[in-house]
Amino acid sequence: MDITELRRQQLLEAQRQRVFETMAQGGTLVQILLQVAIYIETFLPGLRSSIMLLEHNGNRLYRMAAPSFPKVTAIDGVEIAKFAGCCAIAARSGERVMVEDMHHHPCWETCREFL
């Protein structure tokens, strides 16, 4: 039996339970999404997860949960037309955007200073 895989499964189950507990205890949307983002990062080690809210008119993005990113408020509420980060690209295209190296990927060029 691979004890590492067993431990990983236990961590995943514990984090999944935290998501459900937060929901059952009447957690806010931000609290629930934070637990979901942490679960994603637990499930895929090395991944940095962020969940953004797209304004109903589709013009602005708001940070909802990003546990492994710096607490940068400069991008919160930014117009997606003026922001070239991965979240804005995903919001405009409706497609998932995955980046292996934020320091060198072109979609982070205009906001690399926040990294």
Q: What is the pLDDT of residues 55-84, one digit of tens each?
A: 888 888 888 888 887 776 656 777 777 666
| Residue 17 lies in domain | 1-47
Residue 35 lies in a domain: yes
- The answer to whether residues 72 and 43 belong to one domain is no
Does 59 fall in a domain?
A: no
pLDDT at 17: 93
Judge whether 101 lies within some domain. Answer: yes
pLDDT band at residue 113 using 50, 70 and 90 as cut-offs = low
Model confidence over 12-48: pLDDT tens digits? Answer: 899 999 999 999 999 999 999 999 999 888 888 788 8
Residue 41 within a domain: yes
Tell me, yes or no, whether 62 lies in a domain: no
> What total of structural domains would you count in the chain?
2
Helices 29-43 and 3-24 sit at what angle, rounded to 10 degrees? Answer: 170
Query: 31: part of which helix (H) or strand (E)?
Result: helix 29-43
Q: Could you give the strand order of the β-sheet that contains 78-79, starting from the edge strand earlier in sequence?
A: 51-54, 60-65, 78-79
What does the pLDDT read at residue 47?
80
DSSP reduced 3-state for 88:
helix
